[in-house]
A and B are shown apart, each in its own frame.
Chain A
Amino acid sequence: MMGNLLEHMGVDRDRIHFSWISSAEATKFVDVVKEISDKVRALGPNKKFVKDYNK
């Protein structure tokens, strides 16, 4: 529901990830992080929820 609300507010769905990884699943952790960084890299820098201190 949290992801859905963020998406509803206009945050790209590909920036929101939920995963359940046990401390014994090192390879899964690596895979998930890789997948997330690939997706986010494809989207480019996030401009939302970023605070601009110059304003």
Chain B
Amino acid sequence: MDTCIEKIRAIGADLLAKGEVEIIIGFSDGSIPMAARPVAVSSRDDMEKLVFNSTCGLNLANYVSKNSLSGKGAKIAVVAKGCDARNLVTHMVENQISRDQIYIIGVPCTGMVDKRKIASMFEDEITKFAEEGDTLIIESALKKLTVKKTDVLRHNCQVCTHPNPPVFDVMAAEPVAEQTLDQPFADVDNIAAMDPEARWAYFQELTQNCIRCYACRNACPLCYCPTCFVDESSPQWVGKGQNQTDVTTFHFLRAFHCAGRCTDCGACVEACPMGINVREFTRKLNKDALELFGWEAGLDLEKRPPLDVYSPDDPNDFIK
């Protein structure tokens, strides 16, 4: 993967030199290993800051909004994995930005690593992370491990069927092979197989450590409302503390606001400081969107999302 960073930098330098875009949004190294963070580059001297590796798990579409453009004609370039590009498409479909304001530098993605899983292999702090092809070399003061990347992939990357950006202006490398899965939602099916009480208990336990920091919401490109329902005080839709009923309400509604829009990018899970897999909620919605409406978000600029249009074929046997 590190092979395409030179290409990304070259494309970026060229775009800035020609004045085609005013900013390039990409990833740069964080202050500690495995914490790649978003960066906005506007000068060719800063191009070296751009990196791309298996720790770029956030979604850069989140950093693009109507407000990030300086004027009408302005254009921003975004370094986009499959899911980032799909969320950019979703932004466009939802009229947040227009296609001609964004220049998509597409990156074929081989998946991002589960940082918690890697951290759990060490007793102390990780001091170094390097990768060569699909081998990861991770070091701490106590030990050095060589791990196969495929063994530590995030769950959403394991089940990803769109690693290549569906829409792009330029690609930084050749597209990677895309998988098709016999059982794309095995995780959801496992929960569905439990009885209602067990499912309730499962989701209560899942969210019991939630500290309501809203990092999951903030990391999600779909959550761009100027005032989120959780922050409103008149009316106050949901209590703000850690009461389990309020926590459950928050998670149910946050997820439902993503219905038919979620790309399963995993940024929400990546951001959660408590290690809560909040995708468990959106996965069910994604499964329904696919099974009831044949819909996967962010693949097509022309099609309207299922909850946005009426069709005579819409399933309606739940209405009595």
Contact = CB atoms under 8 A, between A and B. Distances in A.
Interface of A: 1-12, 17-20, 32, 35, 48-52, 55
Given A10-B200, A10-B201, A19 B320 contact: yes
A48 B284 contact: no
Contact of B245 (A6, A20, A32, A49): A49
Chain B interface, >50% SS class: helix
Given A5-B255, A5-B285, A20 B319 contact: yes
Interface hub of A1, A12, A52 (most chain B Cβ within 10 A): A1
B202 interface: yes
3 A-B pairs with least C-beta separation: A10-B200, A10-B199, A51-B245
B243 interface: yes
Nearest to A53: B243
B294 interface: no
Contacts, number: 66
A11 to B, nearest CB: 7
Interface in B268-320: 281, 284-285, 288-289, 292, 307, 318-320
Contact of A11 (B200, B281, B320): B200
B26 interface: no
B203 A9 contact: yes
Contact of B256 (A5, A20, A35): A5
B106 to A, nearest CB: 30
26 contacts: A1-B289, A1-B307, A2-B256, A3-B318, A5-B252, A5-B255, A8-B191, A8-B199, A8-B284, A9-B199, A9-B200, A9-B252, A10-B197, A10-B201, A10-B202, A10-B203, A11-B196, A17-B320, A18-B320, A19-B319, A19-B320, A32-B320, A35-B320, A51-B246, A52-B245, A55-B243
A54 to B, nearest CB: 11
A52 B246 CA distance: 11
Interface hub of B289, B307, B319 (most chain A Cβ within 10 A): B319
A1 B292 CA distance: 9
Nearest to B243: A51
A10 B203 CA distance: 8
A32 B320 CA distance: 8
Contacts of A3: 318
Contact of A49 (B249, B281, B285, B318): B249
Contact of A5 (B196, B201, B284): B284
A48 B248 CA distance: 10
